[in-house]
Amino acid sequence: MNKSGGAISLMQKRLVFPEATAFNRIVAKDKILKQNMAPPGVKKLFKAQIERIRCSYELTSEKLNLKNSPDVPKILIIQIFLKGDAVNNKVLEMIDRTFGVPVFFELHYADKFRYCASYRRRSKSDPSTWVLSGYLTGNWIEKDTDTTPLPVTLSLDSLYRTILKAMIPLPFRKGEALDALISRVDRLRVKERDAGRLESRMEKEKQFNRKVGLNKSLNELKQEIENLSK
């Protein structure tokens, strides 16, 4: 899924954070590994894909003169320097859960970077538990690209949601809330993965009747994908 028409120009540029919010502290990788109960395979990927991690900015109520809330007590900007041009989402989730507050990642590789984030919200059934959506990832941006200031908002919650909205590759439907839109993004990704698996099965299938059945299912999935994309 890569529909640039749904994203606004905000995420095509480097965000400039106020100097007062600068944090610039290295995050020890060993600390992240020790604090998480992630499976051994995820921790192995973490070691293979992550070069270093730095908390570059801390956006707080005091530093930005914005109201905070239990859902968005503060926002952290976490720079992740990669060993290659890709990182597993399970690795991102492991890092994300370490901080316990809303996070925006800057993924750095070579001379480029990209923004990435999961929509973090409290569980309706258990407010002490955080729920993370699938990851929203922008396009790679040259490090010397144009810059843009943070959006003007009245609260940290609004700032968080405004930046998230800029990362979503789908258009808002009339009256659609952010939660519903991100849920639609997650469902779309599942359908796209299912369609990819069906296409692979069709390529390998030799029996005509089975191939016809697979093609019918694939066309139905494509229609669902089209409906979710609008």
Residue 155 DSSP code: B
In DSSP terms, 78 is beta-bridged to: 55, 105
Q: Which of helix, strand or coil describes residue 36?
A: coil
**CB-count exposure of residue 91 (10 Å: 0-12, 13-18, 19+):** buried
Are 127 and 75 in contact by the 8 Å Cβ rule? The answer is no
Beta carbons within 10 angstroms of residue 212's beta carbon: 11
Q: What gap in Å lies between CA 223 and CA 195, rounded to an integer?
A: 11
pLDDT tens, the chain, 230 aa long? 444 333 334 567 889 999 999 999 999 999 999 888 889 999 999 999 999 999 999 999 999 999 999 999 999 999 999 999 999 999 999 999 999 999 999 999 999 999 999 999 988 888 888 899 999 998 899 988 888 899 999 999 999 999 998 888 888 898 898 889 999 999 999 999 999 999 999 999 889 899 899 999 999 999 999 999 98
